[in-house]
Amino acid sequence: MDNKTVKSESTPLVKKDQSGFVQLMKSFALLKDSPRDLFITIPIIILMTSTYQTLMIVSTLYMIEIWDFSDLLAGFIFASYGIVGTFYCFVVGTIPDWLGVKTTYILISLMCLTGYLMLVFIPQPVIQIITLLFIILSANLAFLACHKLAIAKLTTIQTRPAGFSLYNALVHVSGLMSGIYTDLILSLNGENRLSFQLIFGICALCFLLALFLSLALSRTNLHEEEINKKSESLVSMLKEIYVLKRFWRLLTLILLTVIIRTAFVHSMATLPIYMNREMGSDSHYGYVFAIESIFLIIFSLTMTFIVYYMSLYSTLIVAGTISTAAPLVLVFGASYWTVFTFAILAGLGESICTPRMIEYTKQVALQGREGVFLSLNTISLVLSLTVAGFSSGWFLGEFCPDDGERECWAMWYLISGICLAGTLLMVFLREYIEQPKDELQPNCCNRD
């Protein structure tokens, strides 16, 4: 390939005669010419991801109300999702590369269909914990990696920014869906076993529908005609990847995004309790979450334009800067104005960080091994949940207790300081962890 026709990851995409907005609209317009499998994948993403969002929403409540676990034990099990999930990310990410997207989707659908039916019909806590950790959680992390790989395979270099932004928007659409039906069931029927059986039954139905959709996917459009002829083992694939410098550079960058994403996670883990203690038990966090979700969908689709003006790495620094600023709003006190502003700014930082990190990962990935590289992005999600979950408990107890003197403003200063540390590390370590500009990517092509 002629070096003159290749652009590095650091090259912005904007053309001199077109604005970034025009380029963005063109990228979205071109999506309609994508293979039909992209439009089959969209409902698969919504169906599968909504079940993951549902599990995050109800699992702690289910453990406390139905299993009668203590807050501490329920929190420990919830945190174990992140710990066990981090291990899974290094393993299950190879599965889409090894089996192909279509076969992986079918396998995931069957696993989760079985797992959720076990939650519905087998009430023993031990069996349900094993089902959650070893069947459902592993399959969930596999489909999160598989979604990204499917988008990467079904988009071109021109439509990929819009494709990953659309994916991020679909994640938040599924979050809205899961929030609506779980809240509706629990509000109308109460927090009892039947309600949770209905919720898990809906999750099982989602995977049954996803199974039928997965069977309609084409291996040709997914470039998987030869996938079953490979004789490589998972171990050999992992060995090939883990010795690469690009893998460890990328892993370091993803761990830094864990830090900056904690601002967004605190909007879910810390903000509800903060509002309850500072604004009263009748404060409406649900409205805040709904509006934040709507803005996340809008931002995911519209903020793509910045990739036409700066490199993907630079967009991550912008996301970190916004995430650092978001908690500072709450230093001025608790009101709906400050709460909404914090939630919207945290959502803006998240909507820039997530899709751009996925796109950056795709460009750094070794060709034919995109699945395991893309699965690393899931580490950012599960670890940010774990870090924010543990820090939230300590911050609230230390600075914003239910009883006693409160200095809640200090908690938000600390959260902002954590995000600032991650952003500054991105800046200072850039020359060491960004993929070198003079090193051609194995899957690059002309991006104009």
% of the chain with per-residue pLDDT over 70: 83
Indicate whether 31 belongs to any domain. Answer: no
Residue 388 lies in a domain: yes
Average pLDDT, integer, range 419-438: 89
Do 264 and 216 fall into the same domain? no
Quote the CA–CA distance of 189 and 201 in Å, as a whole number: 15
* 337 assigned to some structural domain: yes
For residue 316, which amino acid is it?
Answer: L
Q: Give dist(CA 204, CA 200) in Å, integer.
A: 6
Query: How many helices (H) does the chain have, and how many strands (E)?
Result: 18, 0
Residue 199 lies in a domain: yes
Residues 215 and 259 in one domain: no
- pLDDT band for 421, please (50, 70, 90 cuts): very high
CB atoms within 10 A of CB 284: 12
Amino acid at 327: P
Question: Considering its fold, how many domains does the chain have in total?
Answer: 2
Give whichever of 119-123, 223-227, 240-244 has the largest mean pLDDT.
Answer: 119-123
Q: Which domain holds residue 399?
A: 232-436
| Residue 299 covered by a domain | yes
User: What is the 3-class SS of 172-232, one letter each residue?
Assistant: HHHHHHHHHHHHHHHHHHCCCHHHHHHHHHHHHHHHHHHHHHHHCCCCCCCCCCCHHHCCC
Residue 19, pLDDT above cutoff 70: no
Of 224, 243, 268, the domain-final residue: 224
292 and 420 fall within a common domain: yes
Are 241 and 93 in a shared domain? no
251 and 124 in one domain?
Answer: no
338-342 mean pLDDT: 93
Q: What are phi and psi of 379, to 5 degrees?
A: -60, -40
The Cα 67–Cα 123 span in angstroms is 9
Same domain, residue pair 380 and 424: yes
pLDDT tens digits for 235-291? 666 677 777 888 899 999 999 999 999 898 888 778 877 887 888 866 776 677 778
Q: What is the pTM of this model?
A: 0.74
Which residue, of 224, 243, 263, is where some domain finishes? 224
Task: Tell whether 267 and 342 lie within a shared domain.
Answer: yes
Query: Are 342 and 287 within one domain?
Result: yes
Residues 182 and 238 in one domain: no
Last residue of a domain, one of 160, 189, 224: 224
Residue 77 lies in a domain: yes
Domain identity same for 385 and 342: yes
Q: Look at residue 11 and tell me if it is in a domain.
A: no
The phi and psi torsions of 225 (rounded to 5 degrees) equal -60, -35
Whether residue 129 contacts residue 77, with contact meaning beta carbons closer than 8 Å, is answered with yes
CA distances from 186 to 104, 182, 193, 310 (A): 33, 6, 10, 45
Q: Is residue 17 part of a domain?
A: no
CA angle centred on 148, ends 353 and 113, rounded to 5°: 120
Confidence check: pLDDT of 180 > 90: no
CATH classification at residue 197: 1.20.1250.20
Q: Are residues 260 and 210 in the same domain?
A: no
Quick one: 250 and 215 in the same domain?
no
**Cβ distance 359 to 161 under 8 Å?**
yes
